[in-house]
Amino acid sequence: MPVGPNAYDTVLASADWNMPVLTDEMKRIVRQQRLGFVASVSADGHPNVSPKGSLTVWDGDRLVFADIESPRTIRNLASNPNTEVNVVDPAVRKGYRFSGVAKILRTGELYWKILEHYKEEGADIRRVRAIVVIDVTAASPVVSPCYLTGLTEDEVRAIWAEWHRKADQKTVVDLIPPNDF
């Protein structure tokens, strides 16, 4: 993943290259993390960011998640399907921002295929109310500013591992994260 001043300006869009938006690295991060933060906007303009633990890659241009208990997100996406999803590896403070358009499925061939996929992974699909398919139109890296100091991923991972190890021994007042994170 690129770092430096232009890292935040790098945008990958399928329309630009007639290729899938999601690279192998993006797919790996999404599948590895399984937690994405989905942003939506209510009909009256209020933002909503909600964690989705069922987020996964469907194909080269689509992300999916299961609506298990997401009434506000589903209501918002029904009125305004534009969305953004952030997936970040907290150990290295890197990830991706995916922009796209959501479609809510409650039946149909694709709905049943995705539901079967979740079932094969061991999910309790009885709780799924709907499937949300996000057609990703653009993706860009999310990179902590700490990398601008020259730190490597291994160094960032070690700093945060140490902070978490020591966190159990500290009081709330002592829990100040490292600078520039």
Q: What is the pLDDT of residues 20-48, one digit of tens each?
A: 899 999 999 999 999 999 999 999 999 99
pLDDT tens per residue across span 78-130: 999 999 999 999 999 999 999 999 999 999 999 999 999 999 999 999 999 99
Burial string for 58-84 (b: 16+ CB within 10 Å, else e) reads: beebbbbbbbeebeebbebbeeebebb
pLDDT at 163: 82
Biggest CA-to-CA distance, the chain: 53
Alpha-carbon distances, residue 53 vs 43, 109, 145 (angstroms): 25, 23, 26
Architecture of domain 7-143: Roll (2.30)
pLDDT tens per residue across span 69-87: 999 999 999 999 999 999 9
For residue 156, give the 3-state DSSP assignment: helix
Q: Which amino acid is at 140?
A: S
The mean per-residue pLDDT over the stretch 155-178 comes to 76
The mean per-residue pLDDT over the stretch 10-16 comes to 46
H/E stretch holding 23: none
pLDDT at 170: 64
Question: Which has the closest alpha carbon to 164: 172, 152, 151, 175?
Answer: 175
The mean per-residue pLDDT over the stretch 16-21 comes to 70
pLDDT at 21: 92
pLDDT above 90: residue 131: yes
162 or 75: which carries more pLDDT confidence? 75
Domain boundaries, the chain: 7-143, 145-181
